[in-house]
Structure 1
Amino acid sequence: MPDGQDSRAAPRRRDMPRKAALPEGTPSLWEQPAESGRRLRAIRRTVSVVLWTLACIPVQSVLVRLPGGGKRRFARFYHRVACRLIGLRLRVVGAPAPDHPTLFLSNHSSWLDIPVLGATLEAAFVSKAEVGEWPVVRTVARLGRTVFVSRSRGRTGDEARAMRDRLREGGSLILFPEGTSNDGTRVLPFRSSFLAVADAATRVQPVSVVYDRVGGLPAGRRDRPDYAWYGDMEIGSHFWRLVHRPPAQVTVLLHPPVDPKEFPNRKVLSAAVERVVGEGAAQLRQNRPATPLAIPMR
């Protein structure tokens, strides 16, 4: 031992107090700031979209009572800002059909498809009747002139008539022919019965929607459940989990429109649109260049 140094001056390692163990699941010191940042981001996004919605409701309430396309343009503006506020960057490839009325047919993986397509297209949605019972959402849906369908056999005729009337008035519609949402990894078979009103439209346009980038990187299979909403998921908890996530990109691929009268029946039309929508979605999931796909005419 060096001269002048007392061996008692420095405690032996086994005599030093041990650091108390953190309870299982507690973030470490360097993880806590990141977790705090995510929570603040989630709160900021939630408050922003709620305030934006509350500010827009009275404006749209007036516009829906006035003639002209102001209500459709304002609805699109509302959805575009809402997407930005919740951290979604919108990329659109292709162009919507210039003809009215158009029946847009899209794949469906989440409630997020509503603001995404609402920000892209000047059209009303066809939605299941349960949406008309959700707090706040029902108000936004009604102000967007959503056509609600129960899909019960007893009301099929009345609901088809309501959709036809909307198309004959010159208003375009957005329809999800899968009939339900899914986990975002595939496109479910289209139900041709949903296309019974296609003959009332001037054009039918296939649309593929995929949430394809997260935090600037390509989205993988494990990322998609954070954006997909299906099964018995609750919309409130899904929204809260979503707003914690880094900014994401969603791509809307608009394929060339077709004249529904050029197809012999709705089953042929449904199969052709399903194939194009599925192939377009596969392009985006596989991070290939997004290219609108024409429906082969028979």
Structure 2
Amino acid sequence: MIAWLRIGIILCLLALVTLVLLPVQLLGLRYDWRLRRRLPRWWHRIACRLLGIRIRTHGRLETRRPLMIAANHVSWKDILVLGAVADVVYVAKAEVADWPIFGILAKLQKTIFVAREQKRRTGDQVNEIAARMSGGEVVVLFPEGTTSDGNRLLDIKSSLFGAASAAVSSSPEGVVHVQPVSIAYTGIHGMPMGRYHRPLAAWPGDVELVPHLMGVLKAGALDVDVDFGEVVEFRADTNRKVASGAIVSRLRTMLSQRLYPRAG
């Protein structure tokens, strides 16, 4: 009974915050105010606080632009976590736009939706991502293409970094910065989170959203570590496979050291 009461209070408070900020964000999107980039961070911070997600950051977000963040993907909570620590926009698969609640929130943050199965639109989608970066926005890419079980980094395709290469020509200095960022769910109620409990934080594609969301709300108090890694530069003569290999290597190392500190 107490757990359900807590869930009800959290959902009501989150709905109230959303209703308060929504009109301002809609105006920001309508007139392209710079505020529309910052306002989602306030919402994400409040959402994380209400859900009991405690964030520890290590390192700093790169200050140079254009900038793309390449992060591992564990759960929908990654959106809240990264959105709480930086003013970012996301690249998401097109079907997310039709999801209840999450689709609306994604549109309010001006998420870039890509239709991976429509090869003819690939060029336009890459150009949109490049244009957003060139305009000063920090674009988050989850190069695994799906969520993992939270215990490892899945395979990554170098082709997904095509937008970084495409943005080089419009960069004043002829360079695009790609920063690997690892997201590791490491604790629950102040205790270390091992492999057994990590599925609570993770959201693999075969798990229904609503039951998973209820489980997170009931559990509360999740600790997550966000590590900002060393930037990889994309230039006109950069070999994309080599650059993406460096990104993957740094991302995998950060994630492994955070999840399995004793192994290091």
Residues 87, 247 of structure 1: 8 Å contact kept: yes
1:176 aligns with 2:142: yes
Q: How does 1:209-220 map to 2 (within 5 A)?
A: 209-220=183-194
More strand by share: 2
Offset of residue 44 of structure 1: 2.3
> What secondary structure is seen at the aligned counterpart in 2 of 1:243?
helix
Residues 207, 254 of structure 1: 8 Å contact kept: yes
Counterparts of 1:42 and 1:221, CA distance in 2: 26
**Residue 183 and residue 39 in structure 1: after superposition, are their counterparts in 2 closer, same or farther (change >3 A)?**
same
Amino acid at match of 1:157: G
Amino acid at match of 1:173: V
Amino acid at match of 1:207: V
Offset of residue 162 of structure 1: 1.4
Q: Find the counterpart in structure 1 of residue 67 from structure 2.
A: 102
Amino acid at match of 2:127: R
**Residue 288 and residue 113 in structure 1: after superposition, are their counterparts in 2 closer, same or farther (change >3 A)?**
farther
Q: What is the CA deviation profile of residues 1-41 of structure 1, one whole-angstrom value per residue up to 9, with x for unaligned ones?
A: xxxxxxxxxxxxxxxxxxxxxxxxxxxxxxxxxxx333332
Gaps of 5+ in 1: 1-35, 291-298
1:229 to 190, 203, 206: 203
Q: Find the counterpart in structure 1 of residue 162 from structure 2.
A: 196
Counterparts of 2:2 and 2:63, CA distance in 1: 44
Amino acid at match of 2:138: S
Q: Find the counterpart in structure 2 of residue 69 from structure 1.
A: 34
Counterparts of 1:143 and 1:224, CA distance in 2: 30
Q: Find the counterpart in structure 2 of residue 238 from structure 1.
A: 212
Residues 215, 248 of structure 1: 8 Å contact kept: yes
Offset of residue 138 of structure 1: 1.6
Q: Find the counterpart in structure 1 of residue 173 from structure 2.
A: none
Q: What is the CA deviation profile of residues 134-158 of structure 1, one whole-angstrom value per residue up to 9, with x for unaligned ones?
A: 1222221111110001111232122
Residues 46, 243 of structure 1: 8 Å contact kept: no
Amino acid at match of 2:101: V
More helix by share: 2
Counterparts of 1:256 and 1:64, CA distance in 2: 32
Counterparts of 1:191 and 1:51, CA distance in 2: 40
Counterparts of 1:196 and 1:220, CA distance in 2: 35
**Residue 40 and residue 263 in structure 1: after superposition, are their counterparts in 2 closer, same or farther (change >3 A)?**
farther
1:120 aligns with 2:85: yes
Whichever of the two has the greater Rg, that structure is: 1
Q: How does 1:75-90 map to 2 (within 5 A)?
A: 75-90=40-55
Residues 78, 183 of structure 2: 8 Å contact kept: yes
Q: How does 1:137-148 map to 2 (within 5 A)?
A: 137-148=102-113
Residues 263, 269 of structure 1: 8 Å contact kept: no
Q: Considering only aligned residues, what root-mean-square deviation do their CA atoms show, in Å? A: 1.9
Deviates more, 1:228-237 or 1:139-148: 228-237
TM-score (norm 1): 0.81
Gaps of 5+ in 2: 169-175
Offset of residue 180 of structure 1: 0.6
Counterparts of 1:106 and 1:98, CA distance in 2: 17
> What secondary structure is seen at the aligned counterpart in 2 of 1:196?
helix
